[in-house]
Amino acid sequence: MNFVRLGLLKRSLNMECRNLHLLKKLAYINGEWVNANSNSVFPVINPADDKVIAEIPDMDATDAKIAVDAATNAFKTWKDTSAKERSSILRKWFDVCQKNSDHLADIITAEAGKPLGESKGEVAYGNSFLEWFADTARHINGEVIPSPWPNKQIIVTRQPLGVVSIITPWNFPFAMITRKVGALMAAGCTCVIKPAEDTPLTALAAVQLAEEAGVPKGVINVITSSRKNAPAVGKVLCEDPNVGCISFTGSTHVGKILYGMAAKGIKRVALELGGNAPFIVFSSADISHAVEQAMLAKFRNNGQACVGANRFLIHEEMFDKFVDCFKYKISQKCILGPGHKEGVTCGPLINMEQIKKVSGLVNDAVKKGAKVMIGGQVAKDIGEKFYESTVLVDVKPDMEIYGEEIFGPVAVCLKFKTENEALEIANSTRSGLAAYVFTSDLGQAFRMSRQLEFGMVAINDGVLSAAEPPFGGIKESGIGREGSKHGAEEYTDLKYTLFSALDK
């Protein structure tokens, strides 16, 4: 890097740092803030204006190995801490994150582009997992099973499985870390976090607060890398013999690659992968309520959410009314702009790859006969990464967007006539993460819950995520659950112990 560009980057960094209290520019291994072994760096870009926020270490396989070794050594002592002690530390981490919520939100908005209000919502959501797992740590219980033999006793205990590799996405850079790390720490595990290259600063801020809360060195490690080094780092995190589990949230494509790598060592995996959520509105539904909830289900994080509604299946009797109401709400509520600007509700897409994907899907659909009811293009007067909130109708199965996860602010509205037809369309995907159903017929609600092939079903609600219920999908949307008591149990091994000769 030449000295002129370095000077420009430093000046840009100084300007951005003024309001980013928790901004860290180094990775975190074994309780130390460190550079990459090679001293290489890469820039983190604000997607709203393409300005450099910071330059951070571009780590490689060597650094990843050092981090895994640090987590391995820390596990030797952390696994033997009492559940009460782990609970106390998690509670302190929650408390310090609560106190720094605004600072965390500033960083999320800077690197992920979210409106500031939405970033604050993510921090509150992420903090809820630390609070939940602080309580759950003391309730990871075993079993006493009646023995089939006299004078023998069967005991089943849950023990921490070891080092966990955490690979997180860019769309919820804080909550995806607390949901995973809170759970594994409660279970007695240690970890190495590899945050998305687009949003690593939130992870570093979170671990800074973990350090302040008293998390022992080596329990949490964060390695940062660019896309160039990500494959080599991922290989270490999946194949190192000291790693016991790979926990990944991201695309189904990448999840399959990591699953294959983990298979070489018969390692545990916890995968939360892509979705293709149907949003089904029956003729008995309250249309006004359904539209309000559709706004939440579709445009949260500008459509960049795995549980975001993808396909809107509307009963033919309600179709025109729903679309008209939806268009009106979008025109009133979806305000594009930089995340720190007051009044903005929809920020930029994360990078140009996402813009190209969303634009390509819409353009293909229009070319093949779909009709744009609102939006349908890049808002170039605001910036290159701002895509207008969009509604498409007359979408047919031969269009790419019909079966593709959009991951952007585009709602595909389809008509259906019968309950069976709605089910057939909804289930015609290899994804199975979340589904939304709107009906006032209680029997229909129970039938849909049972017959929809998705891990999570929301009835008459557009937001279903919380710390208390198990979050996860079926089919190609993942393996395992996060949140709830099951989220902590994912990071334990069951051990059966037989006590014999008790009469001796």
What are the domain boundaries of the chain?
3-274+481-493, 277-428+434-467
What CATH code is assigned to 277-428+434-467?
Answer: 3.40.309.10
- Annotated catalytic residue, options 111, 118, 272, 476: 272
**pTM, two decimal places:** 0.94
User: Among 347, 465, 360, which residue's Cα sits nearest to residue 406?
Assistant: 360
β-sheet bridge partners, residue 194: 167
What superfamily in CATH does domain 3-274+481-493 come from? Answer: Aldehyde Dehydrogenase; Chain A, domain 1 (3.40.605.10)
Residues 6 or more apart whose Cβ sits within 8 Å of residue 340:
109, 110, 116
From first to last of its 504 residues, the chain has per-residue pLDDT tens of 443 344 444 444 444 444 578 999 999 999 999 999 999 999 999 999 999 999 999 999 999 999 999 999 999 999 999 999 999 999 999 999 999 999 999 999 999 999 999 999 999 999 999 999 999 999 999 999 999 999 999 999 999 999 999 999 999 999 999 999 999 999 999 999 999 999 999 999 999 999 999 999 999 999 999 999 999 999 999 999 999 999 999 999 999 999 999 999 999 999 999 999 999 999 999 999 999 999 999 999 999 999 999 999 999 999 999 999 999 999 999 999 999 999 999 999 999 999 999 999 999 999 999 999 999 999 999 999 999 999 999 999 999 999 999 999 999 999 999 999 999 999 999 999 999 999 999 999 999 999 999 999 999 999 999 999 999 999 999 999 999 999 999 999 999 999 998 887
Q: How many CB atoms are located within 10 Å of the residue 387 CB?
A: 26
- Annotated catalytic residue, options 189, 191, 245, 306: 306
Total count of residues recorded for the chain: 504
Please give the Cα distance from 379 to 388 (Å, whole number): 6
Sign of CA dihedral 321, 327, 328, 330: positive
- Contact criterion met (CB below 8 Å) for 201 and 149: no
**Residue 197 dihedral angles phi and psi, to the nearest 5°:** -65, -25
- Angle of the 175-187 helix axis to the 116-136 helix axis, nearest 10: 10
Residue 346 among the catalytic residues: no
β-sheet bridge partners, residue 378: 387
Q: Identify the DSSP state of 387.
A: B
DSSP codes, 341-382: STT--B---SSHHHHHHHHHHHHHHHHTT-EEEE--SB-TTT
Name the token pair of 445. Answer: 């609600």
Name the token pair of 283. Answer: 């003729």
Residue 122 among the catalytic residues: no
Residue 33 pLDDT: 98
